[in-house]
Amino acid sequence: MKELRSNIRAILGAFVVLFVLLSVYIGYTLFINGPRWFSSPYNPVLSQQKQQVISGSITDRSYIVLAGTNESGKRTYHPNAVTRKAVSHVVGDQAGLAAMGLETFAAKYLLGLSGNVFERIYGSLTGAMPVGDTVVSTISAELSAYAYNQLGSSNGAVVVMNYQTGELLALVSKPGYDQTTLDRTQITEGDSFLVNRASSGQYTPGSVFKLVTAAAVLEHRPDLAAKTYTCTGSVAYEDGAVVCANGAVHGELTLSGAVAKSCNCVFAQIMQQINRADLVKTAKAMGYNQSYLFSDLMIADSVFEKAEGGVNEAWAAVGQYKTTTSPLQVTLVTAAIANDGEMMEPRLIREILNKRGYAYKTMKAKSVDRVMSASSAQQLREMMFLAVKSGTAKSAALADYTVGGKTGTAQVSENKAKGNHAWFTGFVFNEQTPYAITVIVENGGSGGSVAAPLARKILKKAIDLEL
């Protein structure tokens, strides 16, 4: 009998422990994923609330209305068609057809579910139709429209971010869509205009990934950064060869010169000497192979898959092989380099205003993590300055400003049936204009000749707007 009681107590104790663990897990899951579940367009609470509340407005950082509601209760959007398309993925649509724009992601504010409870009670007593709060975004409508136009007839994305605060000044995906003509019945599965290429696009990064590899060298094998390597245009392996673009032969280079000239062969030689686990560790610190749960937006997971030896391992180190990333993730890495190694959380919401125009909630800058030492960040900045001064990124130079950058020309077709993606990522190193930028032009060709000049124009526009 005593043994039976002992067994019962043991089983009861185990059940109590399991119950506590399950409760903690459920609480943690609700805390982390609750806002995303709530914001889902399939949430019936949202559909019901939209029938009972006049949705609040969405504005840009200068309070220009991007989405509002007219006197008849119909949702309205910015009067200019180009601007509507340029900000479409940030704003979203009320039906939630295009992933997670602010129309759904910030629904608790727009539908008045997070404001002062006394105001809601007062509103219900007066019998007036409740009005939701205004969401002031961090983006500039003018900069976004300008960036959208700069992409011309090409698809692609532009991200501009304040690397000190994390505020996204532009998050542009082309093609965009027009909320005033968006028809649910005409949308087919896989329609690419619904995908936010800036945050959810999964692209081969090409040479912009060399910044991650260079960071791994500086963090774990700084002795390799000081060595001189010889580029003969090709590095042979048993299963293939790594070659430099367009048959270039760069001669003798250090790591700094290899970043500036975007030399594949030097990076291949470095990969033969560095501990492979150190590169994986650095890539993870930079956001690869992990999932972020940001407050204001969702970002697709970036993947760095290291090959086990051979030519594919070398290609992985230069951003080819199976590596994929989003333009926003590339921007976060670049912003961290500009910000002394500290990665800031990207923000799309600047403040929340109640119906009287009072800002009852102002978003604060928040650090994600220190992803590299300040010394490594400083050395990477110098390499990127050199790339703009005399390397592949010369077309990004701005008069009277110090610009750092890295180009990328990502091969996306083995038989070259499709053109290469053109990349540029960089920053203005200035306290008054702390802007980081990433541009990708799909199948656009060379990053140096296509993406870098666009980045220069967009950075110049941002500076002129004094954002």
Number of structural domains in the chain: 1
**pLDDT 10s digits, 100-133:** 799 988 988 998 876 555 555 555 555 566 789 9
**pLDDT 10s digits, 381-395:** 999 999 999 999 999
Furthest-apart CA pair in the chain: how many Å? 89
**Reported confidence tier of residue 13, pLDDT bands at 50, 70, 90:** low
State the pairing for strand pair 134-137/349-353.
Answer: antiparallel
Q: How far from chain centre, in Å, is Cα 412? A: 20
Please state, in angstroms and as integers, the Cα–Cα distance from residue 142 to each residue in 173, 351, 438, 465, 466, following that order: 15, 19, 18, 9, 12
Q: Which residue range forms the structural domain that includes residue 400?
A: 206-347+365-465
* Mean pLDDT computed over 277-299: 93
CA distance 447 to 8: 69
**Reported confidence tier of residue 305, pLDDT bands at 50, 70, 90:** confident
What are the tokens at 434?
Answer: 């702390």
Who's near 227: CB < 8 A, 6+ residues apart?
A: 254, 255
Please state, in angstroms and as integers, the Cα–Cα distance from residue 277 to each residue in 309, 329, 401, following that order: 12, 21, 38
3-state helix, strand, coil in the chain (%, to 5): 45, 20, 35
Residue 388 falls inside a structural domain: yes
**Reported confidence tier of residue 51, pLDDT bands at 50, 70, 90:** low
* Mean pLDDT computed over 170-185: 88
Residue 196 falls inside a structural domain: no
Placement of tokens 């703009």 in the chain: 388
Using an 8 Å Cβ cutoff, are 233 and 285 in contact? no
CA distance 247 to 101: 44
**pLDDT 10s digits, 317-359:** 999 999 999 999 999 999 999 999 999 999 999 999 998 889 9
CA distance 409 to 392: 11
What are the tokens at 292?
Answer: 């972020």
Q: How far from chain centre, in Å, is Cα 463? A: 21
Placement of tokens 């043991």 in the chain: 10
- Give the residues across from 344 on adjacent strands: 367
Residue 136 falls inside a structural domain: no
Residue 229 falls inside a structural domain: yes
Q: What is the DSSP letter of 56?
A: P
- Is residue 169 classed as helix, strand or coil in its secondary structure? strand
Say what the pLDDT of residue 95 is: 76
Residue 227 falls inside a structural domain: yes
Instruction: Say which residue, 13 or 456, is predicted with more confidence.
Output: 456
CA distance 200 to 105: 15
Residue 41 falls inside a structural domain: no
Residue 153 falls inside a structural domain: no
CA distance 427 to 437: 6
Q: What is the CATH number of the domain that holds 308?
A: 3.40.710.10
pLDDT at position 54 over 90: no
pTM of the complete model: 0.88
Who's near 124: CB < 8 A, 6+ residues apart?
A: 130
Say what the pLDDT of residue 19 is: 60
For the chain, percent of residues with pLDDT exceeding 90: 68
Residue 220 falls inside a structural domain: yes
Instruction: Say which residue, 389 or 52, is predicted with more confidence.
Output: 389
